Amino acid sequence: MTDNKKEPAPIKSSEAEAQRKSGQDISREAKKLPHREKKKESLQKRLKAAEEKAEENYERLLRVTAEFENYKKRTQREMDQLRKFANESLIKDVLLSVDNLERALAISYNNNEDAFKAFREGVEMTLKGLLDTLTRFGVAPVESLGKPFDPNLHHAISQQESDKHPENTVLRELQKGYTLRERLIRPAMVVVSKKPDAKQEGRSKAAEDDPTQKVTIQ
């Protein structure tokens, strides 16, 4: 009987060489795999570090921007204050002239009424001009007479007993106070009221009620 089994065809040398090279390629790729994994992991770490650095830089930029905006606002406020109150020293000097004029108006010229009248009119005109100038620059007098004593506006020189006013009421104004754009530049020098001494008041009342009290006629 004839054996019909076919023997496998011999592998050509070119095919064998191709298989060998393919096997070598696979082997090389297998060897490169751990290296690629490490390289990928390294890239991920570097990317994460770069993202963290970028976020840190962004937050720093926000802080610097906010600080710069605050600096601009603060500088603007300081410049506004400087413009508003740049003439403060000048105004204080002018106020001294106002004080002198007011004192001059308080002098009595009984011996020469005509001279006094002319003098007074001239002083009044000068004073009005000065006050108008000060008003244009934002200067205003502090209202004091009859007002409650305010340590933020008034400087008390002395106290005076009074039963006609509440305690700590401004009775007299020795020197006017002034504000510049609602900021105090000079407090008013005033005399304030206080309650009468109870013992003294009692003695006075007893003397008034005593019919035997001697009266001296001068």
2 in any annotated domain: no
Coarse DSSP helix, strand, coil percentages of the chain, rounded to the nearest 5 percent: 60, 15, 25
7 in any annotated domain: no
Same domain, 74 and 30: yes
78 in any annotated domain: yes
37 in any annotated domain: yes
For residue 64, pLDDT beyond 80? yes
188 DSSP β-pair partners: 154
194 DSSP β-pair partners: 161
Average pLDDT over the chain, rounded to an integer = 78
Same domain, 147 and 175: yes
Same domain, 92 and 77: no
DSSP state of 10: P
**Of 199 and 188, the one with more pLDDT:** 188
The total number of structural domains that make up the chain: 3
| Stretch among 40-44, 88-92, 158-162, 202-206 having the lowest mean pLDDT | 202-206
DSSP state of 148: B
What are the C-alpha distances in Å from 78 to residues 29, 38, 56, 85, 137?
A: 71, 59, 33, 11, 19
pLDDT digits (tens, 9 = 90+) for 80-108: 777 777 778 778 878 888 888 888 777 77
pLDDT digits (tens, 9 = 90+) for 109-136: 667 777 778 788 888 888 888 888 889 8
**Of 8 and 162, the one with more pLDDT:** 162
DSSP state of 151: T
Same domain, 81 and 92: no
* pLDDT confidence tier of residue 72, bands split at 50, 70 and 90: confident
Query: Which residue range is the domain that position 104 belongs to?
Result: 87-137
Nearest to 179 by CA among 97, 93, 85: 85
The whole-number pLDDT of residue 172 equals: 94
The whole-number pLDDT of residue 12 equals: 53
Output phi, psi for 153, to 5 deg. Answer: -125, -25
The whole-number pLDDT of residue 213 equals: 47
For residue 160, pLDDT beyond 90? yes
CATH number for 171: 2.30.22.10
Q: How far is it, in rounded angstroms, from Cα 35 to Cα 38?
A: 5
60 in any annotated domain: yes
Contact assessment for residue 169 and residue 194, using Cβ atoms and an 8 Å cutoff: no
